[in-house]
Structure formats: C-alpha cells, structure tokens
Structure 1
Amino acid sequence: MDTSERPVLVGVDGSASALQATSWAAREARRRAAPLRLVHVYHLTPVRHPRKVTPPPDYHAAVLDQGRHWLTEARETAHRSVPDLPVETDLHAGVPADVLITESRTARLVVLGSRGLGGFAALLVGSVAVALSAHGHCPVVVVRSAAPDGGPVVVGDDGSELSDAALTFAFDAAAARGVPLVAVHTWLDVNMAGTWTLLPDTIDWDWLQAQEQKRLTERIALWKDRYPQVHVRPVVVRDSPAHALLDYAASAQLVVVGSRGRGVFAGLGLGSVSQTLLHHAECPVAVARTERV
C-alpha cells in the first residue's frame, strides 16, 4: 500500500477513552490528509465447562451488535471533530492486541485510548496500549487526555538510531501544528549520581554539559534543513530521561519518544522511559519507530 494511502487507525472499544482517542485521531488524519479507520476487535471468551457448553447464537449476535454500535458512536465522534473526513469502520474477531498489531502493518499511525472498558481501574495504561506501543509496526499514540493546542511538541533524544524516528515524527508533528519543538536530552541519570558525587573534584561538570549541548545541537541540525519553519528549543539537563520528559510534557500537547533506548534492556519491545511516559504523562504520548515489515 502506498504510504500516502495508509490510514490513521484507531482501536475502538466503547470506552470514553477510546472516543477521546478517536477525536484526537480525526484531527491528526486531517493534518496528514489521510483517511481514518476505526477498528473494533471482539473476543468471545471460551467457556470452560466439562460438557463443552457453547455460547448461544443470540450471545454472539449481541456481541456483534454491541461492536457495531460502538463503531457507529466512534464514527459520529470523528465527524463531529472533522465533518468531511473519510471514515472506514471494521469489525474483527480475535484478541485485540494481536489483531491491532497485525493491522498496524498497513497503517500510517495507530491511536489508542489509555485504558478501555476491560481494564483495571488501578492501571494507568491498558495492556492493549502497552502491547501496541511495544510491538506495533508503525508509530503509536496513546491519548490519556486532551492537551491544549497551543503547547509545544516535546521529544526525547538519546543520540541513538531509535531516537532518529522520534525526531522525525516530532518535527513532522510540530510543523503540521505550527508550534515550537522542545528537544530534551539528558545526561548522567540520577540513578548514577550518588556514585559520581564521590569524585566531585575530578569531574568538570560544565565541560560535560557543554559537550552534551554540542551533541544535541549537531543532531538537531540534521533535521533543521528539512524543517526550517520549526522553531527548536534544545534542552540539555543533568537528570533522568523519564523525569525530565515528564516535566516538559506537563505543558506540551504531545510528547514523542523512541520505542527503546540504549540501556541494558534495548532488546525488549519497549524501554523504561517510554513505559514511564505512557503511564504518567498527561498529554498524548507518541512512541515512534522505524516501520517493521
């Protein structure tokens, strides 16, 4: 499928969170001149019974009717946000996370609410959102709450190739919205600070700060030529990545991170910084990655 034809995909489950994600996704689809695709995945839980009891046909019909109703509700929500937006709806049987991961192969972007109807109240982000952020084949945005349109886009950069995808996504987002981009780079994670303070006279902190600032400035320059209209504010702080990004995300309309960092867990699907942002940032969080096929 041509990239320009790929839709913005939304997982719909009847929750208020999913409707909020639908509204956000409709506006994003308009910015990208892309169609919107609403997908509801229903899963008929097997009945464990010694006589192999099969759910009655009317139960299956009720589940389908419920799914169709939720899709209609989401389509109406999308059209309230963007009246003329092309919207497609689709009803799938299967495990929601598995189906949406497969569907992400042909999507430009997947948008999810932070927690659906089936989630536990104590969880800040549902399992489907975490699974898609870790294993999706395109960028994933998790929408917890609406953020002010005038806020900046914030992106975390650790200098790795995975941050390249985050920077590209963030520059695109800032350019489409006409807002500044805050590029945040941290050094000397606070988890290590206690050890380093044992050697206060052997470390030139100002020199280290200047070196990190230089690295970030050089990296940003690689994107500035492609996005001359975007005003970039580079921020280098001596702090943990998650803590610093949460601080800047508080006033942002979107925060963007890579799928994994450079740490010891780089082989896992989702890094600790990404997970922290998903669970605690109030604004929408985009987990960007290079598309996998």
Structure 2
Amino acid sequence: MDLPVVAGVDGSEESLRAVDRAADEAALRGAPLRLVYASLWERYEGSLIAQEVGRPVEEVIARDVMGAAERRAHRRRPGLVVTTAVLAEEPEAALVNESSLARLVVLGCRGRGGVAELLLGSVSLSVAAHAHCPVVVLRGGPEEPAAPGRVVLGVAGKGACPAAVRFAAEEAALRGVPLEAVRAWRRPAHTTAGHPPLTGAPAPAQEEAAEALEEALRDLPDGLRAQRRTAEGPARDVLVDASRDAGLLVVGVRRRSGRFGPRLGRVAHGVLHHARCPVAVVPEPA
C-alpha cells in the first residue's frame, strides 16, 4: 500500500502553505497526496440546510475550499496523484485517524505570538501529540514551504530518538542538504559558567552530550553530510536558536500520559510554539 502524505485544509492561508509543503513532500517521496477538510458542521448547522443543494451550508463551502486546494496542489506539482476527503468530524480526531494510514501529516499554524499563538495552534498541538506518524507543523514566515536549508535534529539523549534520526536523515538526503544534530547540555547548579571544573577542559555534561550525539548518529547512511554540535543551555532555547536559518527542525517524542491523555513533552511543546522554521514531531516507539 502506497501511504500518502496528508495535509489538513481549512481554507486559511496557513493551510494553503501546508498544501504546498505537503505536495513537495509527496513529490520528493513519489507518494500520493491526500487533502483533508474536517469540521462538525452538522452539530452547528442543525436544520439550516442549503435547500438549493440539499446539503449543509458549511459542507458546500468545504467542498469549494477543497476544490481550490486540489487545483493548487496540481499547479505546484503537475502529475501528482491527489485524493480529497471532506469529513463531518472534529479536525483533531479526523487527522489523527488519517495519520494511522499516512507516512506524514502536514499542518499550518495560525499562531503569531503570545496568547494568540497558544489559542490558535490547538489543532496542530493536539495532532502532534496523538498522531501515529511524523507531523510537520509549519512555523516561521510566509516563505516557500520547501525552502532549502539544513535539517536540524534535536538529540534528547543516548538511544532516545532512533525514529527521529531516521526521519531527519531521510529529509536531508531527499533535499541534498546537510544534517545538523544538536544536543543541549547544562552545567551542574553549583558550577558557574566562568569557573568550569578544569580550565580549558570540557565539562562532564558536555562530554556526555558529545557521546550522545555520536551514538545517535552511528547508523547514518553513507554519503550524508552530518554535523554534530553541543550547546549549553535549556534544550528548547538551543533548538529554537538553531531553527533561525534551518529548513526543518526535527524532534522525537515519547508521549507522556497525563490527566487528559497523551501529551507532548516540554521541549517539543516549546519548539512548536517558538521555532523559526517548520517543525517535524516524530513519535518514538514506547
């Protein structure tokens, strides 16, 4: 079965960027593209039916939006196989369900900062927290969604992110760009930055970070350009800084169970809100 790349569509400019990015991802992989519009219009429309067509008003609008998105995808990538689905479901549930038979889900994000970012990114956050396949959330400015640039991989620790490493390596190879693996580290609370344990020697935490990078990248495919970098500071801040001139930031997540079900860790949650480039959230096996 040829698994598709799925894009969530709602008619917004951000979702149209997602269509562009998803079309590029599908073309790179030789995969079909599936466009999904989901909304519980029946709950809100009630008996307000468009009598002329015998369907809920929002369903009519949704199909118009979907038609425009399909034409956009074909213009961007002629010859691409495109399928569409207009679903009377909650967007989060529909996209998570679609992810079980997808190789990638691509979503736009309307957040622009502050409270608006927290409120308007709810669908993207929910899908990233529950999806069965990697999810790419478009962040940053309105530049070309598939803009060239290195792929940055956030390495959480020794043996912590094999699925994310594989995904990041594939993305870098598909685009012919370097892979930069980054591992953040912190000094012990009793050690100040100005007085390391041994002058001129790396701190133990820095050495451990370098070892984690080597272990994570030991099975990279031959010929892939890979850089390794350790940086002192909170992982979220280090990765957000690395995203400033990157084409894609990749983080692996082992979902944590909380009061309301699976949720993202602090680092993945933080970079989804603040990264300056698209973010790929890759689920790791439990």
TM over 0.5: yes
Question: Under a length normalisation based on structure 1, what TM-score does the superposition of the two structures give?
Answer: 0.83
Task: Tell me the equivalent position of 1:103.
Answer: 98
Task: Tell me the equivalent position of 2:161.
Answer: 163
Residue 86 of structure 2 corresponds to residue 94 of structure 1? no
Deviations 1:239-289 (A, max 9, x none): 111111111110100000012489x99x95211111111111121100011
Query: How far, CA to CA, are the matches of 1:45 and 1:126 in structure 2?
Result: 24
Task: Tell me the equivalent position of 2:29.
Answer: 32
Distance change (3 Å), C-alpha of 1:211 and 1:162: closer
Task: Tell me the equivalent position of 1:130.
Answer: 125
Instruction: State how many pairs are aligned.
Output: 273
Query: How far, CA to CA, are the matches of 2:255 and 2:196 in structure 1?
Result: 30
Query: Which structure 1 residue ranges, 4+ long, deviate > 6 Å from structure 2?
Result: none
- Secondary structure of the residue aligned to 2:161 is helix
Structure 1: gaps (5+ residues): 48-52
- Secondary structure of the residue aligned to 1:106 is coil
Query: How far, CA to CA, are the matches of 2:267 and 2:244 in structure 1?
Result: 16
Query: How far, CA to CA, are the matches of 1:153 and 1:54 in structure 2?
Result: 47
Match of 2:175 among 174, 177, 191: 177
Where do 1:33-48 residues align within 5 Å?
33-44=30-41, 46=43
Match of 1:67 among 62, 70, 89: 62
Task: Tell me the equivalent position of 2:277.
Answer: 283
Structure 2: gaps (5+ residues): none
Distance change (3 Å), C-alpha of 1:36 and 1:291: farther
Query: How far, CA to CA, are the matches of 1:74 and 1:161 in structure 2?
Result: 40
Distance change (3 Å), C-alpha of 1:68 and 1:268: closer
Deviations 1:102-146 (A, max 9, x none): 111001100000129xxx981255211000100001100001343
Residue 12 of structure 2 corresponds to residue 23 of structure 1? no
Distance change (3 Å), C-alpha of 1:252 and 1:91: same
Structural RMSD (CA): 3.0
Distance change (3 Å), C-alpha of 1:198 and 1:275: closer
Distance change (3 Å), C-alpha of 1:154 and 1:30: same
- Secondary structure of the residue aligned to 1:206 is coil
Distance change (3 Å), C-alpha of 1:6 and 1:214: same
Contact 1:6 1:34 in 2 (8 A): yes
Report the residue type matching 1:286 in the other structure. A
